[in-house]
Structure 1
Amino acid sequence: MSGIALLFPGQGSQYKGMGVNTYKYESHTKQIMEEASDILGYDMYTLCSTGEMEQLSRTSYTQPALLTMSMIAFQTYMHQVGIEPILSAGHSLGEYSALVASGALSFQEGLRLVQQRGQFMENTAKDGTGSMIAIRGIDLDELERLCIQHSTPEQPVVIACYNSRLQHVVAGHSQALERLNRSLEQQQVQMNLLSVSGPFHTILMEQAADRLATFLHTQTFQQSRWPIISNVTAQPYTSDVHIRQGLIDQMTCAVKWQQSLLYMVAEGVHTTIEIGPRNILTRLSEDIVPTTHGYAFDKHQDRQRLITDYSLDGWLKECLAQSISLPNCNWNEEEYELGVIQPIQRLKQMLSEVSLSNKNDLHAADIREKAASCLSEILRTKKGEKPSQQDVLIYQLVGGLA
């Protein structure tokens, strides 16, 4: 198993110029940008590169922009690194990016969904009755107590995101937030007003949730290539019905991010790769489980470290070494030629091409898949293990080498 989880950021991660210089040399960037512009009816490249931050921070623009940039980052990751995760999750809006990357939604479907979602949320919050604040330095039980103390049925304030052991986000009615803010100031708690336009993940988003439910009712979801963790339950989605309900509930329920990461670690995740703007989720991962290895793909240093740590050249060399060292129990010359000699030759050819080619001309995911297929064919042909054990060994070899 690779032990890798892909994490997709949500609203608040946007910044002017996000991803433009990082991914401008990738062939898919222009294609994805143009596709997004055609669907949305405005120039996505201009919005992300030189547009006004005020517009980019509007929910109806932020959400499609972040999904677009996350998909460009994901395609770049698959092109340069190419290792599929064992699990994936997205923070709030990022859950849509996770679903698109896994194949549960197409990019076009995901973009139209977040366009509607953003408009529903913006319209519901347009009267300016609420906002969100990130808080560090207070015990969770104490924060929950203060939220209850300063809430009324008409003016609620709740924990909207359980982000890490050290950070939580509260959201709610402006007046309730003011009352909570005064109490927190007395305790010298660190607070940061988030760059969002409303009290998301609270009951104040119920109208937007109802509208999204109507829109989602006609949406079908495909089988994902790997499990996606729900923000609401911190468990993997199990069906399209589960996904649909989870996306609706997410509008008014808290994001259980800390719980989601703890679940992933319990399932064997030891490395997280943040796919999208900034490194917010990478920092949160360090807060939650300091032993995990985190890479923020948007950061040049992290991206280069990731490419080095998961070197395609090194992986192919290890595939060759494993292929040659595996014991052989098949003495049929014809089978050995077809199932061992020729796959080893193909592995050597791949290694030669990777070593000599411009890395931008290669697609790491395709090469890894072909190499894994060769390794599988060699192991089955050599018949060094029982059929039931072969599957386990192939899984361990390919996953471990990744």
Structure 2
Amino acid sequence: MISYIFPGQGSQIKGMGGKLFDEFKEVTEQADDTLGYSIKKLCLEDPDMNLSQTQYTQPALYVVNALCYLKKIKEVGCKPDFVAGHSLGEYNALLAAEAFTFEAGLQLVIKRGELMSKATGGGMAAVIGLNKEQIFDILQENNLKNIDMANYNSPAQIVISGPKTDIDYAKPIFETNKGVTMFIPLNTSGAFHSRYMAEAKKEFAVFLEPFAFSVLSMPVISNVHASPYKQSAIKQNLIEQITSPVKWAESIQYLMNTGAMNFAEIGPGRVLMGLIQRIKRETGVT
């Protein structure tokens, strides 16, 4: 069996997409019409330095991930057994499973990016070397009650999220812990996947209300539950995803537990494949 996995924010890089914009010209034109600007120019040239801004990053990754998927299907001639995506990448997993059209998915991602970009003053950091129980204890013991756990990327790579001042304050506390191998502040403007995205979640729920989703053509693993989407819960999952932690390690473990599983990362970079190797190593899977 094979699972296709789609990367999220953080995997963007100038030059991503390359020749795919010309190879899939019709899809590129649909993206331009929906966005109101040239996606090819943004990704390949980034003349206004917008690619790292959330409201541009998310649509750009969605489009490039989608083009990479089209290219992959064209090459192999068949679809995967399962799909999953990390945060924003989950929209590409749903697209692959035919939950919505390319344009409809792009409209959702544009709105999601706009709402998430409004969240300012927040920060995130990756803590490497501790498990979630150890991080929880440190947060409790040091009265860091304003910080949430946002991404469970692997059993010992967890991203925390909260006000930037609190993340900065937490840095030396974590760095002096003998179990922490690295504390890496992330380049984000908001405290994503935390309680501080509640307003974005509320507005996104209103935007999602009129949308209807088609029957999924393959299993999509949910970030929120680390298990396959239920058809009746697609809308609620996408709403909850904005404030819920990304259960990536559990999602990959779920897929590995279904049987002999291969993975292919569909999109720019190899961040997720690196995480899978880390998950296997930290869980003792060979």
CA distance in 2, matches of 1:197, 1:83: 39
For each residue in 1:327-370, what CA deviation from the matched residue of structure 2 results, as whole angstroms up to 9, or x when unmatched? Answer: xxxxxxxxxxxxxxxxxxxxxxxxxxxxxxxxxxxxxxxxxxxx
Task: Report the counterpart of residue 288 of structure 1 in structure 2.
Answer: 279
Q: How far does residue 203 in structure 1 lie from its aligned partner after superposition?
A: 0.4
Q: How far does residue 292 in structure 1 lie from its aligned partner after superposition?
A: 8.1
Gaps of 5+ in 1: 294-402
Task: Report the counterpart of residue 151 of structure 1 in structure 2.
Answer: 144
Seen in structure 2, the aligned counterparts of structure 1 residues 73 and 269 have a Cα distance that, compared at 3 Å, is farther
Q: How far does residue 53 in structure 1 lie from its aligned partner after superposition?
A: 7.5
Q: Sequence identity of aligned pairs in percent?
A: 37
Alignment of 1:230 onto 2:228 = no
Alignment of 1:137 onto 2:135 = no
Match of 1:264, SS? helix
Task: Report the counterpart of residue 212 of structure 1 in structure 2.
Answer: 204
Matched AA of 2:276: S
Q: TM-score, normalised by structure 1?
A: 0.67
CA distance in 2, matches of 1:222, 1:213: 18
* Superposition pairs of residues 39-54 of structure 1, within 5 angstroms: 39-52=34-47, 54=49
Task: Report the counterpart of residue 333 of structure 1 in structure 2.
Answer: none
Q: How far does residue 189 in structure 1 lie from its aligned partner after superposition?
A: 3.4
Q: Is this contact kept in 1: 2:131–2:158, CA < 8 A?
A: no
Alignment of 1:82 onto 2:77 = yes
In terms of fraction of residues, the more helix-rich structure is 1
Q: State the Cα RMSD in Å.
A: 1.8
Task: Report the counterpart of residue 260 of structure 1 in structure 2.
Answer: 251
Alignment of 1:72 onto 2:67 = yes
CA distance in 2, matches of 1:105, 1:65: 18
Q: How far does residue 269 in structure 1 lie from its aligned partner after superposition?
A: 4.7
Matched AA of 1:200: F
CA distance in 1, matches of 2:90, 2:166: 28
CA distance in 1, matches of 2:236, 2:273: 27
CA distance in 2, matches of 1:196, 1:52: 20
Q: Is this contact kept in 2: 1:146–1:180, CA < 8 A?
A: no
Match of 2:221, SS? coil
Matched residues, number = 281
Match of 2:83, SS? strand
Task: Report the counterpart of residue 3 of structure 2 in structure 1.
Answer: 5
Q: How far does residue 140 in structure 1 lie from its aligned partner after superposition?
A: 2.8
* Superposition pairs of residues 3-402 of structure 1, within 5 angstroms: 3-21=1-19, 23=20, 27-28=23-24, 30-52=25-47, 54-123=49-118, 125=119, 128-148=120-140, 149-152=142-145, 156-187=146-177, 189-239=181-231, 241-289=232-280
Match of 1:289, SS? helix
CA distance in 1, matches of 2:246, 2:131: 18
CA distance in 1, matches of 2:207, 2:113: 13
Q: How far does residue 186 in structure 1 lie from its aligned partner after superposition?
A: 1.4
For each residue in 1:274-320, what CA deviation from the matched residue of structure 2 results, as whole angstroms up to 9, or x when unmatched? Answer: 11111000001111125989xxxxxxxxxxxxxxxxxxxxxxxxxxx
CA distance in 1, matches of 2:132, 2:201: 27
Q: Is this contact kept in 1: 2:17–2:268, CA < 8 A?
A: yes
Runs ≥4 residues deviating over 6 A: none
Q: How far does residue 52 in structure 1 lie from its aligned partner after superposition?
A: 4.3
Q: Is this contact kept in 1: 2:117–2:190, CA < 8 A?
A: yes
Task: Report the counterpart of residue 378 of structure 1 in structure 2.
Answer: none
Seen in structure 2, the aligned counterparts of structure 1 residues 284 and 53 have a Cα distance that, compared at 3 Å, is farther
Q: How far does residue 268 in structure 1 lie from its aligned partner after superposition?
A: 2.1
Seen in structure 2, the aligned counterparts of structure 1 residues 150 and 18 have a Cα distance that, compared at 3 Å, is farther
Q: Is this contact kept in 1: 2:131–2:155, CA < 8 A?
A: no
Q: How far does residue 158 in structure 1 lie from its aligned partner after superposition?
A: 1.3
CA distance in 2, matches of 1:247, 1:269: 29
Q: Is this contact kept in 2: 1:158–1:202, CA < 8 A?
A: yes
Match of 1:64, SS? helix
Q: How far does residue 210 in structure 1 lie from its aligned partner after superposition?
A: 0.2
Q: How far does residue 109 in structure 1 lie from its aligned partner after superposition?
A: 0.5
For each residue in 1:221-266, what CA deviation from the matched residue of structure 2 results, as whole angstroms up to 9, or x when unmatched? Answer: 1112101011010111111x31111111111110100000111111
Match of 1:142, SS? helix
Q: Is this contact kept in 1: 2:220–2:229, CA < 8 A?
A: yes
Structure number, greater radius of gyration: 1
Match of 1:20, SS? coil
